[in-house]
Amino acid sequence: MTDLLRLPVEQKYEAELAALRDEDTGKKPYNWQLTPQAVVTYLMGGTTQSGVEISPKYVGHRRIIETAVATLATDRALLLLGVPGTAKSWVSEHLAAAISGDSTRVIQCTAGTDENQIRYGWNYAQLLAKGPSKEALVPTPLYRAMEAGSLCRLEELTRMGSDVQDTLITILSEKMLPIPEINDTLYAQRGFNIIATANNRDKGVNELSSALKRRFNVVVLPLPDSMNDEISIVARRVTEMGAGLDLAVPRNVESEIEKVVTIFRELRGGETLDGKTVLKTPTGNLSTAEAIAVMIGGLSQSSWFSNGEINADALSSNIIGAIVKDPVQDKAVLEEYLETVLKKREAFAEYYHTMNEVL
Ligand SMILES: Nc1ncnc2c1ncn2[C@@H]1O[C@H](COP(=O)(O)OP(=O)(O)OP(=O)(O)O)[C@@H](O)[C@H]1O
Ligand SMILES: [Mg+2]
């Protein structure tokens, strides 16, 4: 047991990665820790020849992960695109851990990100004392990935300004980074590549220039197709996160997850699951990640303030918090949903009452 709140996934899943590495005798792309097949097994789950169980990290189409892994073995970079909460960051972290054994080379792109955070910065004390030199240069995670021939992750690529994004063009097409201040050039080692994530829902994002777009293979991560997939993702993550937070996960958790996921899928999709009633959709994004957060919130509330059971009482205010992002518009949407849909369902009677009370 460690005191760290969260370990990098290459440490958390060290046993699985080691088991895969031990049996992985196939041909690997240069500087990869695993073969592409083994990377896909690590992400999608399976059993190794010696019987070690590999837990699924991503639940969805295998083909999507195969395309992502195959892209990283080429000279094109990978862009994971999708609405918030579709596991883009999660997949990117696991890919970097499986391929490079290090998921920590990551740059969070924001509106305030400048070129120095992408290319390199300077240690100003050294710069003033000695002038520009290799010693005064402060490498970024991207710089270190180029040096080491490993993967670098760029989170929320489209949140940084287009001019800063374009810094990546030379790095991606010529695999080198000029350092004019010291008349030097950093050439990327083989094995270097970039995994970027971007979500296509946010306001205030900066479009990728077409020059940059051309250097990325885009892989879209969809919301889970089926209700069962979504329930199993939420159940798995709630169990893992609950254990990390020392929260006991009660036995009836799956049936409550099913109810939360039903509410989310109906409101997100704009109709009831049987397709008979058209619904208004709230402004917020009701993703799987939100459903996970609702369950963890409810579990915490119930274990600290109540009897540890998970039920409408523990979950209602969390569900409302996830749905009502706009206090006027979303509240009306939810009220209508409660009256026209939940009120008529016996299984949701408790939810109908407690949510009405809280709302
Ligand atoms: N298909 C899926 N398979 C496995 N886990 C999933 C899936 N979809 C969502 N999750 C879970 O959702 C959580 C949130 O995912 P993550 O933070 O990676 O989303 P994101 O796409 O990066 O969102 P954002 O755009 O807000 O950054 C993770 O804990 C992840 O396990
Ligand atoms: Mg993310």
Q: Cα–Cα distance between 339 and 352 in angstroms, integer?
A: 8
The reported pLDDT for the residue numbered 204 is 65
CA distances in angstroms from 55 to 13, 38, 60, 246, 307, listed in the order given: 9, 13, 14, 21, 31
Cβ atoms 172, 209 nearer than 8 A? no
How far apart CA 64 and CA 85 sit, in angstroms, is: 16
> Cβ–Cβ contacts within 10 Å for residue 356, how many?
15
**Tell me, what's the pLDDT at 77?**
97
Q: Ligand 1, atom 10: nearest CA belongs to which residue?
A: 87
Angle between helix 253-269 and 312-323 (nearest 10): 20
Quick one: which atom of ligand 1 is closest to the CA of 86? 21
Find, among 257, 211, 262, the residue nearest to 234 by Cα: 257
Instruction: Say how many Å lie between the CA of residue 296 and the centre of ligand 1.
Output: 15
Ligand nearest to the CA of 234: 1
Query: What whole-number distance in Å separates Cα of residue 207 and Cα of residue 50?
Result: 47
- Distance (Å) from CA 86 to ligand 1 centroid: 4
Burial code (b: 16+ CB inside 10 Å, e: under 16) for 208-239 equals beeebeebbeebebebbeeeeebbbbbbebbe
In this prediction, residue 291 carries a pLDDT of: 96
Atom of ligand 1 nearest to the CA of 57: 4
pLDDT score of 164: 92
Question: pLDDT tens string for the chain (359 positions)?
Answer: 578 888 999 999 999 999 999 999 999 999 999 999 999 999 999 999 899 999 999 999 999 999 999 999 998 999 999 999 999 999 999 999 999 999 999 999 999 999 999 999 999 999 999 999 999 999 999 999 999 999 999 999 999 998 899 899 999 999 999 999 999 999 999 999 999 999 877 766 888 888 888 999 999 999 998 999 999 999 999 999 998 889 989 988 999 999 999 999 999 999 999 999 999 999 988 999 999 999 999 999 999 998 888 999 999 999 999 999 999 999 999 999 999 999 999 999 999 999 999 88
Residue 83 Cα: closest atom of ligand 1: 25
Classify residue 158 by burial, with Cβ atoms within 10 Å: 0-12, 13-18, 19+. Answer: buried
pTM for the model: 0.93
Cα-to-centroid distance, 328 and ligand 2 (Å): 28
Strands of the sheet containing 77-82, edge to edge, are 106-108, 151-155, 193-199, 77-82, 216-220
Question: Which residue is closest in CA terms to ligand 1's atom 26?
Answer: 84
Helix H or strand E encompassing 121: strand 120-122
Please check whether residue 111 is in contact with residue 204, taking contact to mean a CB–CB distance below 8 angstroms: yes
pLDDT of residue 104: 96
Residue 237 phi, psi dihedral angles, 5° rounding: -70, -35
CA distances from 342 to 263, 272, 319 (A): 9, 10, 14
Say which CATH architecture domain 9-110+149-165+191-220 belongs to.
3-Layer(aba) Sandwich (3.40)
Nearest CA to ligand 1 atom 25: 84
Per-residue pLDDT tens for 217-270?
Answer: 999 999 998 999 999 999 999 999 998 889 989 988 999 999 999 999 999 999
pLDDT tens track for 135-169: 999 999 999 999 999 999 999 999 999 889 989 99
Q: Please give all residues whose beta carbon lies within 6 A of any atom in ligand 1, as ranges.
A: 58-60, 82, 84-90, 197, 199, 224, 233, 237, 288-289, 292
Q: 93 CA distance to ligand 2 centroid (A)?
A: 10
The protein residue whose alpha carbon is closest to atom 15 in ligand 1 is 87
Q: Are strands 53-54 and 46-47 parallel, antiparallel or unpaired?
A: antiparallel
Measured by CA distance, the residue closest to atom 4 of ligand 1 is 58
Tell how far the Cα of 346 is from the centroid of ligand 1, in angstroms.
Answer: 32
Strand 216-220 versus strand 77-82 pairing type = parallel
How many angstroms is it from 183 CA to the middle of ligand 1? 42
> What is the CA(67)–ligand 2 centre distance, in A?
19
Q: What residue spans define the domains of the chain?
A: 9-110+149-165+191-220, 227-358
